[in-house]
Amino acid sequence: MHDELSRFFDDFFGERLPARQSQEGASWIPRVDISENDDEIIVHADIPGMEKDNIKITLTDNVLSISGEKKIERDEKKANYHRVERVFGSFQRSFYIPTNVDASKISASYKNGVLEVKLPKKEEAKPKEIPVKVE
């Protein structure tokens, strides 16, 4: 519903509204998918246009945080923009994760604007059988 209203107002007013002068420093929220299989939890975050060094991933008290900053790419002195829709600035997303994740084996990769974080699950402790001695 929200997207439909946004498109409606963009279509109706879009040509009449002045372009934003700058979005530098504006916060934005990347879209995220979280899935799980028998071996791991996988997080995919859409963060196009990012440099690897501007992405930070932390795990503290079972909270996975992904943050970063997308630097502005244009020189406003050289161009007269009619419409500005790409976002720039900092972002942060945080998610609670189960305690059965092996923090020492977490890995991350970034390809084609998508960050992938893999959180392997700990090997479940096998039940230990305790023999009963007869006295």
42 inside domain: yes
72 inside domain: yes
Q: What is the pLDDT of residue 35?
A: 94
Q: How far apart are CA 119 and CA 68, in angstroms?
A: 19
pLDDT tens per residue, range 23-61: 344 488 999 999 998 889 999 999 998 999 999 999 999
60 inside domain: yes
Backbone φ, ψ for residue 131 (5° rounding): -70, 150
126 inside domain: no
Q: Which of 121, 106, 109, 116 is nearest to 58 (CA)?
A: 106
* Assigned token pair, 55: 């992405």
134 inside domain: no
128 inside domain: no
30 or 84, which is more confident: 30
135 inside domain: no
For 33, the domain range is: 2-120
132 inside domain: no
Number of separate domains in the chain: 1
Q: How far apart are CA 100 and CA 116, in angstroms?
A: 19
97 or 24, which is more confident: 97
CA 108 vs CA 28, 45, 71, 99: distances in Å: 21, 11, 21, 19
* Assigned token pair, 100: 């059965």
Q: What's 19's domain CATH number?
A: 2.60.40.790
